[in-house]
Structure 1
């Protein structure tokens, strides 16, 4: 670490929504280590709401995922505009949390006093050397489902002498008043006037989802005993089709807000729930960020690396020796036997234990 104080830092995370949300403790740890620091974020445009309103994020800068599809002139203008904006911020520190080349290019161009990035997995000696020369320090990535993603992010700070502690490693997500007001209206319109359980059964990758019939059996057990259930899902055609099949199998109708919510609204909906039941997906991380108890089903992905972070929880998985495999179902079938083996009775028992434990 340099002796001079760090006035302004840029944290770069060009990945999906959940990955971006899990960078939050990096901002909080920097803010605690250097009082008065301004910490900016550089993320893909569609993931920006994971960090906007975060108490320790000063500004959120974005790159469009479609910039590479633009003509060369439009692409050059977009990157030049972003470069000028970042250059004007005059960063002392850049923390790059992936091996994306955008981070290496901007670090070389912006020339901060200090920079850190993960060790590269790029192929070829030339690429390896260029990556190494782009940063002042590199930190190792511990793979194999042995370390949580939040801790992997914080390793970047540990590498440069900044130590996180229990007060700086919580997740934060702020839905905002507009989102909270919208959700209150949507719930009232759906006839939900009291406490509810939120089921978010899908993921961007559907091979992580529990079989429809098993999820239907769980929901029927909940509604039969009088619990109010609300459904949510992303608006993608695949997820909406999955939810349509689910609702067609239910014995009793439930409030269904699938495909109707922004990220901020989804966060507000989760914050108001007694608990969330879902799979390894963004809502699970949002639940951790707003401290809503969560029951999470894990199959092909690893719960050590991606499980709910520091929130009352029950993680349900089966002891298959092949998991976590990260594959699109067994044999590429899209169906994961390790998820099929989880029974509705087991999930219901875990949920009831969690509700009793948290008094929800």
Structure 2
């Protein structure tokens, strides 16, 4: 089995679990005839993608093909509480289930969210004809897919747990995660032609965005920026963020709007202390859907490899993205006009993004200079004819 796992401890544990599980399930699988997936028998579909917000967004392109390939089916999407809001008003989703698995999300202090067993008791009362686990993770397959009553259970086997599925999607090698997810739809015989994804904002939300911009004296054109990331190693240098934002304001003459989340408030304050100019600071003031609204009105979005980057890409907003330990081949902005700023460090392709093993700590991000990003912004501005 070829696994798509970089962390050696996880790889060993997954391989061992697969070996044991396969041995235990061999007698059952020998007498279980694999049946082709019949769209006429699929009236309910469950798509599972709980971790993380950016990855959930990159799963959205499979929804339109699924709705066309299984025209009689209602689609339910199981995702994290953090990502649930981006699915609201999506025309291809009939129901949203929010759950934060303990194997991905540590319980918040004083949290009253449902336990795994309570959640599964409720989920098992529902019957799905087709369950798609989009991440390919043995924990999701074992803990969320296996207990469900479903005619068809589909995922890749590259994260382990393939022996628990009725159908294993062939893995074609490293590619962008959007294509990785779309290959599931292709395997199921769904038409994959034009790609539709993004956050579907209501008329009221769009009007509220315009009001928010007016209230903060933000006029077009403006550049939205976001220095925050979920994984610390993806973060750039503090002083370079400050220098970059100053250059956008003074060198390019374009208003800068900071759109960071509340958890990055202290970091943004440190950036502002180093700046000569004063950008509009919306840190901690935007929900994910409000962020999507602001980004949709921006000229360009400058950010790290992060969930907001995928929000922008899904809404066709031009993006300049800084990449360090993560692999742009998998998670670069998809489909929209964009520029990726990155340096060639071979260790990036074996990096699990949690621990830097390069002799010069954080070298891949430190190698990116302010001028590199400015050059990318100028180049992208030429492309979009601004």
Could you tell me the TM-score, scaled by structure 2's length?
0.80
Query: 1:30 aligned to 62, 66, 73, which one?
Result: 66
1:2 aligns with 37
CA-to-partner distance for each residue in 1:22-49, whole Å, 9 max, x for gaps? 1111111111223343211011222211
Cα 1:334–1:278 change in 2 (3 A) is: farther
- Of 50, 54, 73, which aligns to 2:86? 50
Contact 2:66 2:190 in 1 (8 A): no
TM-score, length basis structure 1: 0.85
Structure 1 residues 18-27 or 206-215, which shifts more?
A: 206-215
Indicate yes or no: 2:261 matched with 1:231: no
Separation in 1 of the partners of 2:352 and 2:172? Answer: 16
Q: Secondary structure at the match of 2:168?
A: strand
Distance 1:47 1:71 in 2: 19
Match of 1:349 in 2: 375
Question: Which deviates more from structure 2 when the two are superposed, residues 62-71 or residues 93-102?
Answer: 62-71
The equivalent residue for 2:219 is 193
| C-alpha contact (below 8 Å) 1:157/1:163 kept by paired residues | yes
Deviates more, 1:302-311 or 1:183-192: 183-192
- State the distance in 1 between where 2:225 and 2:282 align: 10
Q: What secondary structure, in the 3-state scheme, does the structure 2 residue paired with 1:46 have?
A: helix
Q: CA separation of 1:64/1:208 partners in 2, compared to 1, >3 Å: closer, same or farther?
A: closer
- Where in structure 1 do 4 or more consecutive aligned residues deviate above 6 Å? 70-74
Q: Taking structure 1 as reference, are residues 334 and 195 closer, same or farther at Cα in structure 2, changes over 3 Å only?
A: farther
Give the direction of change, closer, same or farther, for the CA distance of 1:230–1:112 in structure 2 (3 Å limit). same
Are 2:171 and 1:136 aligned?
no
Note the C-alpha offset of 1:321: 2.5
Whether 1:149 and 2:170 are equivalent positions in the alignment is no
| CA distance, structure 2, for counterparts of residue 50 and residue 72 of structure 1 | 20
Counterpart of 2:157 (choices 119, 124, 130) is 119
Unaligned stretches of 5+ residues in structure 2: 1-35
1:125 equivalent in structure 2: none
Q: Is the 8 A contact 1:202 1:209 kept in 2?
A: yes
> Does residue 1:91 correspond to 2:91, yes or no?
no
When the two chains are superposed, the root-mean-square deviation of aligned CA atoms in Å is: 2.7
Query: Judging changes above 3 Å, is the alpha-carbon distance between structure 1 residues 72 and 165 closer, same or farther for their aligned structure 2 residues?
Result: closer
Residues 1-360 of structure 1 mapped to structure 2, 5 A cutoff: 1-5=36-40, 6-65=42-101, 76-84=117-125, 87=126, 90-98=127-135, 99-119=137-157, 121-122=159-160, 132=163, 134-141=164-171, 146-160=174-188, 162-167=189-194, 169-225=195-251, 226-236=253-263, 239-324=264-349, 325-328=351-354, 330-331=356-357, 336-360=362-386
Equivalent-residue separation in structure 2 for 1:4 and 1:188 (angstroms) = 49
For 1:322 and 1:203, the matched residues in 2 are separated by 20
Please report how far the alpha carbon of residue 148 of structure 1 lies from its aligned counterpart in structure 2 after TM superposition: 0.8
Tell me if the contact between 1:328 and 1:334 (Cα under 8 Å) persists in the aligned partners.
Answer: no
Mapped to 2, the partners of 1:62 and 1:213 lie a distance apart of 38
Q: How many residues align?
A: 342
Asked if the contact 1:207/1:334 (under 8 Å) is kept, the reply is no
